[in-house]
Chains A and B, each alone.
Chain A
């Protein structure tokens, strides 16, 4: 599917539409070296693709820290409150509330213990805090990453299949304001990759 770069003409917005330029590297060190240069060249819509997380690449790419931990904390706190409310409602008070259907709580009297036995509620509070945190942690991580997305232009490239095996890639996308097919290709060549490929949209 992928067209060799040498055959295309240098006119932007010409059919078939371009997704971007793909440069292949053999080692994590080469990739990191190149990534720092792409960052410094001022590109914004670009990415590295690696078979495993490369230590220090976030810095070389200039990636800002994710807000995921803050979101997980909020979800965990929600779990804490939800677990307390669940137990207090079902075991400590006789209130009737509307939650889609009418629900009535029941103040259980168990061996003379107080209706609001907070110490006995702690294990379930703990478990639900963890449950809410973990579910939101994984769910939001995939959501923020835009996954699942079973289709992506990069999957058209046969070369790119090695991104999950043993090769390291830099992709500069065509939507980057600084992207000009010829100029960007020249720039990528200066990074000394083992191959450059044009990926169609």
Chain B
């Protein structure tokens, strides 16, 4: 490809530069490294699903995930056959691991839509390297999340009562309950995320279809590519639709975790009944979601040779988001305490003192040290761009975020208004098995996605390369194409 204009900026893209985290004033850092042809992007991404065999590490991880998935199957099967008594629930702790896991997974699911929708509206072009990936993660996380309310209802054969389905008893769900809002919020969120993910993937599935050698691949990718042929008249409507989806998803993603927080905030329980919950939950969700993206992106880019597309700058940016949202979460923790004291309400004051120094002090300590103290290391660029450190930190953040939900749910329930009804919660093996097993479900789906679907949004990455600009590096033999 011949370049007439912007020679100096092009040089950086071509000279095998691997550290694109350096800021050069007046210049945009390259988002794609060591590639100047569109076909290189196609080849790099398609290689993963076109390879005869996956890397050996993939098989190991997949076997482990399937093992965990069967643990989930056994635990849920046992629960269905026996009843929710197999969990460590008691009166007053009637929600524990089930809802903790639900909120944990829904929270993780927030990063995908944030990256695809909000960063899209803000024209953050670096999103293109990671959005497909993060959206897939969102969908699988919401599947894990949806499992828990489904199985915790006790009589699972009546789980369809969650939906307003006409029945012979003329019985309807009660729409003034935030639990029902949750049903609508989470199922809408799942549907819209799936649409967003799939719509974004159609052009890339067409690429895989056009390159497929085997009949099965041609048929499979061909069917889901819907006959996409890159027509510009199609792209025109497609881009409009994508923009609208982003505009719809942005308030949606903020609403979903707000509605999840209403499950707690609209109750009268001290420790739950606070107005700070919706924004606090949303910040925490983005925090944990981005941490999960880093946890997955670090090994995936290593394993599948995607380091030139998911560059260090992408990871650096995500770590900055983790730092920012970590600080917001820390602010929320301290504000909760301040308001508990400032309100003068005896029960509020007790709930928060009990949270930090009561029977679950260790959980609170884990939560604060993982979520508030650890991310502060990301103030240093050296640590923010160090692969091992960010990998470990991202896992620590998610441990902390699991404990945050545990602390909120269990410590508030265990010690409420009446000391006579206080109790404590101890998980059973089924509780722990279900929690661990959900990771099996998540990773099984994610590994299948990595192996068989385009992990990076090729069309979107190509569109942000300098060569894609018809007036700049992509002007071709006509130089600047002015009209």
Contact = CB atoms under 8 A, between A and B. Distances in A.
Interface in B170-208: 170-176, 178, 180-181, 184-185, 188, 191-192, 195-196, 198-199, 203, 206-207
Contact of A123 (B206, B262, B480): B262
B78 interface: no
Interface residues of A, number: 79
Nearest to A171: B231
Given A51-B38, A68-B244, A69-B240, A56 B192 contact: no
Contacts of A17: none
Given A36-B483, A137-B241, A147-B226, A127 B468 contact: no
Interface stretch (B68-76, B245-253, B301-309): B245-253
B469 A28 contact: yes
A123 B181 contact: yes
A117 interface: yes
A130 B252 contact: yes
Interface stretch (A5-13, A100-108, A175-183): A100-108
B197 to A, nearest CB: 11
B185 A29 contact: no
Contacts of B178: 123
Interface in A53-111: 53-61, 63, 65-66, 68-69, 72, 86-87, 90-91, 101, 103-106, 108, 110
B273 interface: no
Contacts of B467: 27-28
B173 A90 contact: yes
Contacts of B479: 29
Interface stretch (B90-98, B366-374, B416-424, B455-463): B455-463
B478 A29 contact: yes
A30 B477 contact: yes
A18 interface: no
A193 to B, nearest CB: 11
A192 B180 CA distance: 62
Contact of B195 (A59, A134, A161): A134
A166 B37 contact: yes
A113 B176 contact: yes
B207 A52 contact: no
A133 B244 contact: yes
B468 A124 contact: no
B176 to A, nearest CB: 4
A200 interface: no
B248 A108 contact: no
B175 A152 contact: no
A49 B476 contact: no
Contacts of B471: 29, 56
Contact of B207 (A55, A65, A126, A165): A165
A198 interface: no
Contacts of A187: none
B175 A57 contact: no
A31 to B, nearest CB: 7
B19 interface: no
Contact of B166 (A27, A103, A117, A145): A103
B259 interface: yes
B39 interface: yes
Contacts of A127: 181, 184-185, 188, 252, 255, 259
Contact of B241 (A108, A131, A141): A141
A172 interface: no
Nearest to A149: B227
Contact of A141 (B175, B237, B255): B237
A105 B172 CA distance: 8
Contacts of A68: 237, 240-241, 244
Nearest to B203: A164
Contact of B468 (A48, A54, A87): A54
A128 B259 CA distance: 14
Given A51-B38, A69-B244, A130-B192, A29 B184 contact: no
B232 interface: yes
Nearest to A169: B230
B210 A164 contact: yes
Nearest to A110: B176
Interface in A7-38: 25-33, 36
A164 B230 contact: yes
A51 B459 contact: yes
B109 interface: no
Contacts of A26: 1, 476
A90 B172 contact: yes
A123 B259 contact: yes
Contacts of A29: 470-471, 474-476, 478-481
Interface in A123-176: 123-124, 126-128, 130-131, 133-135, 137-138, 140-142, 144-145, 147-152, 154-155, 160-166
B474 A151 contact: no
A100 to B, nearest CB: 9
B238 interface: yes
Given A29-B470, A147-B226, A164-B203, A137 B245 contact: yes
A84 B259 CA distance: 18
B448 interface: no
Contacts of A28: 467-470, 474, 476
Interface of A: 25-33, 36, 47-61, 63, 65-66, 68-69, 72, 86-87, 90-91, 101, 103-106, 108, 110, 113, 117, 120-121, 123-124, 126-128, 130-131, 133-135, 137-138, 140-142, 144-145, 147-152, 154-155, 160-166, 192
26 contacts: A26-B1, A27-B470, A47-B233, A48-B231, A52-B462, A53-B238, A57-B470, A60-B481, A66-B240, A90-B173, A108-B174, A110-B176, A123-B185, A126-B251, A126-B255, A130-B252, A134-B196, A135-B191, A138-B199, A141-B199, A145-B233, A155-B229, A163-B210, A164-B207, A164-B230, A165-B210
